[in-house]
């Protein structure tokens, strides 16, 4: 008997469509842009004149207008008729809408231009071109939620909570996440330079990255021990549930008796996919997630039970696990008694919907809270694992700019990081205070010789890249969180 039934495609489509329509996480409604203007104007009764100034300049006059709109009309007319040069009236309206959204002080609500909206839609398409990292705006800064597995961002060493301060020298201060995405994304093969500040470090570092095609392949499975499989889900895109079905059935043929589900650094995605996947492990009829609207009304989403809820399971989470990842984690923890291992999750407990306008622009806004099966709201709090486990200290070391030369007698935070990396890889620079002395030079030479690099005694280019690559490999091999998850799983398989 297969672990997961091969679901009927039409049924899946109907269930996914229903889930999307009911939950509103990502709904795309067609709505003529000009209706937004009519909505603003016709909320008040007694319109006497409304003229879009395509030719002669005219003033909008409104009788019995709502008081809160009077200032808006006055500002629009004042700028439209009195500014020292001609204004773009479309930009004025767009700016007003953007201002309304920004006043919500919600990093997950956004007004997007047509170009920004295209980038937004790409997040659930089959692929896109860029660096491969989920970002969000927080307190006026652009933060990395999580890099995508195998992406240029991950290979460059970017981590959750890294702050992107500028792109190719242009500051991102005060930008929305979609505005930042527009700058960061670009054609495959083109180079971009990010300035990154990592919390806990003193100085920002410039990180050159070559953009690539980022395929939205979201499920990766492998056997990691006798009867034990590990499946990593990197995001929740439109085909993730189907990918997981295929992967689990393949792993069962290889002898899977227990599963570690890895949701670390998974920034989330589509709610219907989180519900479908949760249903594979939560018994039918039990609650997967709840949704609470502005009036306090709560709607429950139950397990569809399209899998094997008796399969021994352990779930891995960390501070990069957000949104749909947290929905899945909370669902299996509270409704199926599945233990969580790792670190506290990110803490995103809101649901968004998106509305397209006919000019290509888009309004994304928060419509509800989501609650765990037990009614907990994890927003800005995250989910605590049952077994807290950290990765080794060297796993959190900052990245080093490979274009910067670290040499004898130099002193910097980058040198300190390089010394710690060398030590983690079995070399002994003698110190980790950031001063590049003769001993450090000798260890760099040993490192270069051991890995068939040019032996010159300084770190730059290929030597720096190799140093970070080897450290990343060591982190993966010495995955303390995965080891603990396997240990816990074995007790559940007895």
Residues assigned a catalytic role: 323, 334, 348
Report the C-alpha gap between 41 and 63 in whole angstroms.
11
Which residue, among 341, 275, 263, 399, has the nearest Cα to 15 in the 3D structure? 275
**Please, where are the H alpha helices in 266-412?**
271-278, 324-336
> What CA dihedral angle connects 147, 150, 156 and 160, to 10 degrees?
20
Both tokens assigned to 203: 């100085």
Both tokens assigned to 212: 């690539």
Both tokens assigned to 345: 């999750």
Report the C-alpha gap between 456 and 453 in whole angstroms.
9
Helices first, then strands: H and E counts in the chain: 14, 22
CA atoms within 13 A on the CB side of 423: 19
Strand 340-342 to 350-357 pairing: unpaired
Facing residues of 303 across strands? Answer: none
Phi, psi of 215 (to 5 degrees): -75, 145
Report the C-alpha gap between 281 and 301 in whole angstroms.
14
Element (DSSP H or E) covering residue 394: none
The count of other CB atoms within 10 Å of the CB of residue 145 is 24
């Amino acid at each position: 008997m297969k672990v997961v039934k091969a679901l009927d495609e039409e049924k899946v489509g109907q269930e996914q469509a229903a889930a999307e329509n009911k939950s509103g996480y990502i709904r795309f409604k067609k709505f003529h842009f000009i209706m937004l203007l009519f909505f603003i104007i016709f909320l008040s009764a007694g319109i006497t004149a409304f003229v879009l100034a395509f030719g002669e300049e005219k003033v909008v006059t409104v009788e019995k207008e709502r008081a809160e709109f009077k200032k808006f009309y006055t500002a629009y007319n004042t700028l439209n008729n009195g500014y020292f040069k001609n204004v773009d009236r479309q930009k004025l309206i767009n700016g007003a809408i953007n201002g309304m959204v920004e006043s919500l002080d919600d990093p997950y609500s956004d007004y997007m231009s047509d170009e920004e909206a295209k980038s937004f839609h790409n997040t659930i398409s089959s692929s896109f071109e860029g660096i491969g990292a989920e970002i969000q705006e927080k307190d006026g800064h652009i933060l990395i939620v999580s890099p995508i597995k195998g992406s240029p961002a991950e290979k460059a060493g970017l981590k959750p909570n890294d702050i992107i301060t500028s792109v190719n020298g242009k500051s991102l201060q005060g930008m929305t996440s979609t505005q930042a995405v527009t700058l960061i994304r670009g054609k495959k093969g083109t180079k971009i330079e990010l300035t990154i500040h990592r919390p806990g470090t003193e100085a920002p570092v410039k990180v050159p990255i070559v953009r690539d095609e980022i395929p939205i392949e979201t499920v990766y499975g492998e056997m990691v021990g006798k009867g034990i499989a590990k499946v990593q889900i990197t995001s929740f895109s439109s085909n993730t549930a189907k990918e997981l079905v295929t992967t689990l059935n393949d792993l069962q043929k290889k002898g899977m008796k227990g599963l570690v589900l890895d949701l670390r650094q998974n920034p989330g995605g589509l709610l219907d996919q989180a519900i479908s996947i949760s249903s594979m492990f939560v018994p039918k009829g039990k609650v997967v997630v709840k949704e609470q609207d502005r009036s306090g009304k709560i709607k429950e989403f139950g397990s569809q039970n399209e899998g094997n809820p008796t399969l021994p399971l352990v779930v891995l989470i960390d501070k990069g696990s957000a949104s749909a990842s947290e929905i899945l984690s909370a669902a299996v923890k509270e409704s199926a008694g599945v233990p969580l291992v790792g670190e506290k999750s990110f803490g995103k407990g809101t649901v968004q919907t998106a509305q397209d306008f006919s000019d290509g622009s888009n309004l994304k806004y928060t419509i509800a809270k989501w609650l765990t099966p037990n009614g907990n709201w994890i927003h800005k709090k995250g989910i605590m694992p049952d077994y807290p486990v950290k990765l080794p200290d060297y796993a959190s070391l900052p990245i080093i700019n490979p274009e910067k030369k670290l040499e004898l007698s130099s002193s910097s935070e980058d040198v300190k990081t390089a010394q710690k990396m060398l030590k983690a890889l079995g070399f002994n620079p003698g110190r980790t205070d950031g001063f590049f002395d003769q001993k450090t030079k000798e260890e760099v030479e040993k490192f270069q010789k051991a890995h068939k690099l040019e032996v010159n005694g300084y770190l730059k280019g290929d030597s720096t890249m190799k140093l970070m690559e080897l450290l990343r490999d060591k982190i993966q091999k010495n995955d303390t969180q995965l080891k603990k998850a396997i240990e816990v799983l074995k007790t559940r398989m007895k």
